[in-house]
Structure formats: structure tokens, C-alpha cells
Amino acid sequence: MSAPIEWRAAAGAELETDSHGILDLGVRSGDWSAQLFTDTLDLRWEHAYGRGKVSVGLRGAGFAAGMFISPYTAGAPDRDRAQLVQYVGPDVLAQRWLGHGWYAGGEGFARAHHFTPMGDATLVVPDTVWLRGDAVIGGWFADGARSVRASMGVDVSTVDGRISPHAAGEARARLEAEVAPFGELRAAWAEDADDLLATRLGGMTPYHVPVAGLAWAEVWAQDLVAARLGAQWTHGGLEVPVFVDGAAWILPEDRSSPDPDAAATVGFGGGLGYRSGTWSARTTVGVAPFWERPEGTWPVSVFFLLGTDWRRAQGSHSSTTPEG
């Protein structure tokens, strides 16, 4: 029995003082998939069974792991700390469906990291292996209109034997209406984290904790709470969201940044998007008017993305006969 071949693709960027591009490509068939997330290659086997799923993957990042290529200090890019970072390693996941939208399971990875200072950067970061294990429980309701997720686990960094327990949670909700309010809440806590283990916060990409007006992964936080409240007008394929973000955080004690131990900010954002079938395009603009930046840095960030969700490749077919 052959499975159909499907593919997806997206391209975009976040424009700010230190802008970055996005290129996502993916192909899958049955339980197997290969995806490229800009500089990160993900090869995966994922199998769903009657009451859950299991996944085994191998990931490798080429140069931008952890966004070490673009650290910030005092609201501006800090080239003195910039690093090219590669990693490679396996990951595993096992989930069990509990019924009524709930699931529970465990996940973890092992990643060997290599650091190289960029340009004239003076910071030297030793290579390390990062080990992570988490227990996870969550829920997915109304086709994703409401979701919750909580995790607890431990990080281990072999360079100094660092052991960092951590916990994180998030909740999202949106109404189904032409003008629909929505909300998101995220929180994270850890002990004895460092630059590598810290949670990335800032920007409007889907890869980190979003905060409108902050740069992409501008903050490397040990503890944080972040919320987004907004509303979206939807008409046909047109989508127009507006929202306000609030975030507060504490930085790791062991860090390379000289920024204050704790800070908070508020950001405002709005966007325009369009969907047609599996294709979509969207642009989002964010500003954090109370976040201090030195002269010459952008006071706003602009994120845009164009792409398609999974679609069947032309000429691909399954040997099974569809029902109906």
C-alpha cells in the first residue's frame, strides 16, 4: 500500500534593525517526512496508532541555532556576542490520547552544539551537548479553537555538568465569528539556565514566544510570562487581526548579556492576511513604544510570510480506494 506524496513551502522575513529571512520546505509520505526550516533539516518517522502517536527524528542546524547570530544588548544588536552555531542530534516523542481532547506523553532530545564567533566577536562559547527530557500534558478542543499545554522536565549541558529543571505552559482561545476575540497566555520557569538553555522571546514569528515590537528572539529569558489579547475580522479569505502583547521576564544569572536582571514591556500589533485553499499570505506590523532603543535602531518590526500548507503532489496517488 503506497501513501501519497505531499509537500509544503513558505518564504518570508522579519524586517527590523537586524533582519532575518525564512525559507520552509517540506515533503512527506505516510509516516516519513523531510523538512527544511531555513537552516535546520528535520528527518522524521512519525506513526499514529489507535490511541496515540510516536515520533523519532534527526535534526541538524547549519548556522543559526538559538539565534546566536543576532544577540541584543540594551535594545540594539550586539556583534561582540554573535556566534555561528550548528547542532545535530536525535529526538523522540510518545503521546497517548486520553479522550475528550486530552493527551499526555513524553519527549526529549540530544543535540551536540558547536560554536564559532562571528566576525570580530570576542565572546567564546565552549561546545556542548544539550540533553532535554519533558513530561507533557495538554488538550486540543474545537478543532484547535482552544488549546492548553503544560510540560515539566530537565535540561543537562555537558560542558559544565549543568542541570536545569524547568516548567512551561501555554493556553490559547479564539471564538468563531466574523469579528472574533482571541487570547494567548504563556509562562516559563527554570533554575540555573544559561544563554543556550534560555527561552527565546520577541518578534512575531511562530518560532519563539511572540512580543510585538521586540526583535526576533531579542530576549533570552529564564523565567517569563507573556500574554496576547486581540480580535480578528474575517471576511471570506481576508483576515485582519489587531492585538496587544504584554511580557515580563527574568534573565539567567549565568549569561553573557549585561542587561538588567528583569524587565517588562508592552507591544501593539496589527496585520493583514488572505487565505485561499492551502495557500496563505500575511503581513504583521508590531511596535513596543515603551521599550528603550538607542538612536539608529528600528522602532518597529514587520513580519511577512507567503506559503502553502501540506498539499498533494501532482501525479501522486494512494493505492487505496477512497470511500464514498
Query: pLDDT value at position 1?
Result: 58
Q: What is the pLDDT along the chain (324 residues), one digit of tens a residue?
A: 589 999 999 999 999 999 999 999 999 999 999 999 999 999 999 999 989 999 999 999 999 999 999 999 999 999 999 999 999 999 999 999 999 999 999 999 999 999 999 999 999 999 999 999 999 999 999 888 999 999 999 999 998 899 999 999 999 999 999 999 999 999 999 999 999 999 999 999 988 999 999 999 999 999 999 999 999 999 999 999 999 999 999 999 999 999 999 999 999 999 999 999 999 999 999 999 999 999 989 889 999 999 999 999 876 654 433 333
Does residue 318 sit in helix, strand or coil? coil
Query: pLDDT value at position 323?
Result: 35
The DSSP output letter for 2 is P
Query: pLDDT value at position 121?
Result: 95
Would the CA dihedral through 197, 122, 23, 184 be positive or negative?
A: positive
Please provide residue 66's backbone torsions phi and psi, each rounded to the nearest 5 degrees.
70, 10
Domain extents in the chain: 14-312
Query: pLDDT value at position 206?
Result: 84
Domain 14-312 has CATH 2.40.160.50: yes
Cα–Cα distances in angstroms (integers) from residue 121 to residues 44, 251, 286, in the given order: 35, 22, 30
HSE on the CB side for 269, CA within 13 Å? 32
Nearest-5° angle of CA 217, CA 219, CA 221? 115
